[in-house]
Amino acid sequence: MKTEFLGIPLKNRTVLASGILGNSKDILERVYHSGCALVTMKSIGPAPRDGHKNPTVLDLGHGMINAVGLPSPGYDRMEGEWDELARRNFPLCASIYGGSVAEYARVAEFVSQKKPDVIEINISCPNSEKHGMIFGVHTDSAFEVVSAVKQVINVPLIAKLTPQAPDIASIACACEDAGADAICAINTVGPGMVIDIESRQPVLAFKKGGLSGPMIKPVAVRCVYDIFKAVRIPIIGLGGITTGEDAIEMIMAGASLTGIGSAVRYRGIDVFDKVTREMNDWLESHNCSIEDIKGAAHQET
Amino acid sequence: MTPSKTHTMIRVAEKVIEHPGESATLYFDAPITFTPGQFVMFWIPGVDEKPYTLSFVSPARFGITIEAKGIFSQKAIALEPGDLVGIRGPFGNGFTLPDEPAHTVFVAGGFGMAPLAPLIDTLLENGENPLAVIHGARTRSHLLYHDSNDPNRNPPERHPGDRQFCTDDGSYGHKGFVTDLLLDLLGKGASVEQVYACGPEIMMHAVVQICRGEQIPCQVSLERYMRCGFGVCGACVCGEQVVCTDGPVFDDTQVSRMADFNRRALLKNGQIVDLDTYFTWRQPR
């Protein structure tokens, strides 16, 4: 199951999705030791930001809805954490966001100097009025922000996309043309809403929130399928991946790696180990390798 | 209460003022499956949602004790019977009672009595008595479920009996800390087999140090800012532990390995800060 991704040796195909647990070096290290090959930090923003009031995350049983709202200490107020992360022994992806192209570039340039193994730009978060997603729904703005970030960093760049884009494949193409080294798809679906019928008001303090978990997997698989047809750069496929069979499905859609997030709720932090073992079991029982099945769903019969 | 997929709405059945203007216990008439030390996410529509342990549980009723500290808790103690609130959970791991009857000691600092009280209830229901209940607070008006001025308080005092009190200012009981009373107890040669502690983290740290020195198993309950309550958002991490799902109750071995116990916590924005900075934010006075 070992592989190499953008020149980074990885022990398997699983990635910790941004926004899940990635708050400190200690917890990132635990996730790595629980079987995750590439751990992603919570998105880092241009300024201190508290995120939204609670309720921010609800479990719908078949997935979750959240509007945490991009809390961040701010890129330049994390010195202690960067010092600890400099002494890490695991591959690290730093996720960043901004409210303008200049903010993305400023955060990215700073973070790049802290030497994460890769930077992911979040152009897809639905939970802030000003940040993220607006850059991921238009090809020209996606191109602009990826180009600007690419020029100021010296680690590989991943663009994380939103399924809210009318044509996610064209966004992926724009990112590839602008110099992105990989695509990560998808961020949460929606936004959706849950109304409490007794108090007659939305439950989430932000009212709307992004959907994740098993209920969005078909959307994620379709997006990765469309992106795989459109670009040559590798794809991290995520959205509802909970089991090894889910991960195999995502790889057949065209993903090279599979992200895992909400499944931490349903199967524990060692879900990464479990998914990898289940992937291996499936491959063994079908007598094939990841390379044999990557993008297999695209082969016309 | 049957846990629903997202949350359950419920009306306040009764409010008992613990200390006027400072604290109250809200009671809800519904059954709930709960282990003492677990917590629920308590939502006041239009205000906010915060984690609270249950301070009382019976087959048809449960209670939440609230200390008024910030905007949310001020609104919470102002709730009245009939008001509608939301509950998610219970979440997390609670306290574990010994398999066999044992000499147990409870050490509560201020509102740290809230999660310990239903654990003491469980013990009493099992026909056992704690060896000692040590309860400390800043002043007499912060001692919980006990009114030194009113022997006829309603509801009656919980767990009368061998309860030892101390206050920082000496206004009631011993002038000093709960650790003084714990050390005193141990110094008298008491055979203590299990300690449960909840209160300020610096107090729990001191209790854990004493217990480890005496090789007495100890369980403590940690507090951190929380969002999801079920182990995905990462807001409550303490070292490599996720307080909402790995805890909030940890034993002395776990906290001894926990890099950030009595050391650091995360602000709402995720910044990792020392505990003084964290508690200045969490407990404005």
Domains of chain B are 8-91 (2.40.30.10), 95-221 (3.40.50.80), 224-285 (no CATH)
Could you give the CA distance from residue B187 to residue A39 in angstroms, rounded to a whole number? 49
Amino acid at the residue B256: S
Give the model confidence (pLDDT) of B111-121 as tens digits.
999 999 999 99
Joined tokens for residue B36: 């003492």
> Check: CATH 3.20.20.70 for A3-53+71-193+213-293?
yes
* pLDDT value, residue B146: 77
Q: Do A96 and A75 contact (CB within 8 A), yes or no?
A: yes
Q: Do the Cβ atoms of A68 and B233 come within 8 Å?
A: yes
Residue in A with minimal Cα distance to B7: A58
What is the distance in angstroms between the CA of the first residue and the CA of the last residue of chain A?
27
Residue A77 distance to chain B (closest CA, Å): 8
Distance CA(A239)–CA(A259), nearest Å, equals 7
pLDDT tens for A181-203 read: 999 999 999 999 999 999 999 99
3-state secondary structure of A28: helix
What pLDDT digit, counting tens, does each position of B20-31 carry?
A: 889 999 999 999
User: Of A125, A173, A175, A184, which residue is the catalytic one?
Assistant: A125
| Side chain identity, residue B232 | V
Rounded Cα gap, residues A161 and A168, in angstroms: 7
Using a CB-CB cut-off of 8 Å, the residues of chain A touching B270 are 23, 42, 71-73
At B149, the pLDDT band (50, 70, 90 cuts) reads low
Q: Is the pLDDT of residue A240 over 70?
A: yes
Kindly report whether the peptide bond that precedes residue A260 is cis, defined as omega within 30 degrees of 0. Answer: no
Average pLDDT of span B50-78 = 96
Q: CB B146: neighbour CB atoms within 10 A?
A: 19
Element spanning A245, H or E: helix A244-253
What is the rounded average pLDDT for all residues in chain A? 95
* B contact set with A (CB within 8 A): 5-7, 9, 41, 43, 45-46, 48-50, 84, 86, 88, 227-235, 237, 239-240, 242, 259-260, 266-272
The rounded radius of gyration (Å) of the Cα atoms in chain A is 18
pLDDT score at B283? 74
In chain A, residues 149-188 whose CB comes closer than 8 Å to chain B: none
Quickly state the pLDDT bin for A252 (edges 50, 70, 90). very high
Our CA-based measurement puts residue B268 at a distance from the nearest CA of chain A, in whole angstroms, of: 5
How many Å apart are CA B198 and CA B208, to the nearest integer? 11
Lowest-pLDDT range of A90-94, A106-110, B153-157: B153-157
Which is it for the CA torsion B209, B213, B214, B219, positive or negative? positive
**What is the number of alpha carbons within 13 Å of residue A141 lying toward its C-beta?**
20
Q: What is the pLDDT of residues B100-141, one digit of tens each?
A: 999 999 999 999 999 999 999 999 999 999 999 999 999 988
Q: DSSP assignment, residue A163?
A: T
Q: What is residue B3's predicted lDDT score, i.e. its pLDDT?
A: 40
What ipTM did this prediction achieve?
0.94
Yes or no, beta carbons of A24 and B266 under 8 Å apart:
yes
Q: Do A80 and B272 touch (CB under 8 A)?
A: yes
pLDDT tens-digit map of B268-283: 999 999 999 998 888 7
Can you tell me whether residue A214 is helix, strand or coil? helix
A175 part of the active site = no
Q: What is the mean pLDDT of residues A267-293?
A: 97
- What is the Cα–Cα distance from B96 to B46, expressed in whole angstroms? 36
